[in-house]
Structure 1
């Protein structure tokens, strides 16, 4: 989420080139929530007194999530100025694929599919049949996907929103 507020007059050194276009705004005690669709979808919080037609500034709390917020702000700014937006670095392509498989495996299991049926859907009949099922690495993989999907459903998905930082 990018938090925006009215820029004080003493900081506004250049005129606003183009207003920030936001979708439908929903009022809340914090201000107005909106989604900006353009290049990338960005969740915005416009603090009270902010108007999208005037000069705005971003508010970035200095805490453990600062670097992730700054990255989101850069992506938002590039999108607003029609510049190439770099990919989100919170998840790699491999992690996105695994997350999708976890959700599909959990959904299949919840709907009564066996681990073998899930493996067949993911990897094909030939690959599943090529090894003894009880000792198959595909069986272990599918069980791990179902467990991981269950953990995500139980609240683990919140970790996806945060960068893992090296100590």
Structure 2
């Protein structure tokens, strides 16, 4: 394992660990020797399962073990989220719904339907609406386990 980048201050040693294309910040508290393993504190609240899964993935990365793929989203959900962001980005840059639909669903498919009554028009508007909601903070739901009431 390559030693992570570090800086020190009054709190302790701040480490920046690179894993899987992500940077993870760690803190070794002041007074804790470098040879003592780091500890993780997990609040026991509804997000505890998410945190313990994240710690499992971090520990695997730190130890050089294979980190399993995140299976919280199906391939269809991942595709829809990508389309939501594409649609929102297009709209925020002045594209019309029809232009956006052409990029996402294909120009030929969009042209084959009457636009005013097209299901693609409604789908594109929904993608933009949901993309804006994701940008406004809804993305956090992607990081959480599904909750059972």
Q: Structure 2 length normalisation: TM-score?
A: 0.82
Gaps of 5+ in 2: none
* 2:24 paired with 1:79: no
- In structure 2, how many angstroms separate the alpha carbons of the residues matched to 1:72 and 1:59? 12
Map 1:16-165 → 2, pairs under 5 A: 21-25=3-7, 34-39=15-20, 41=22, 43-46=24-27, 48-49=29-30, 50=32, 52-165=34-147
Greater relative CO (CA pairs within 8 A, separation 6+): 1
Displaced runs of 4 or more, over 6 A:
none
> Which structure dedicates a bigger proportion of its chain to helix?
2
Q: Structure 1 length normalisation: TM-score?
A: 0.74
The count of corresponding residues between Structure 1 and Structure 2 is 148
Given that 1:40 and 1:76 are in contact with CA atoms closer than 8 Å, whether structure 2 keeps it comes out as no
Report Cα offsets for 1:24-45 as digits up to 9, x if no partner: 558696x665442134635234
- In structure 1, how many angstroms separate the alpha carbons of the residues matched to 2:46 and 2:108? 48
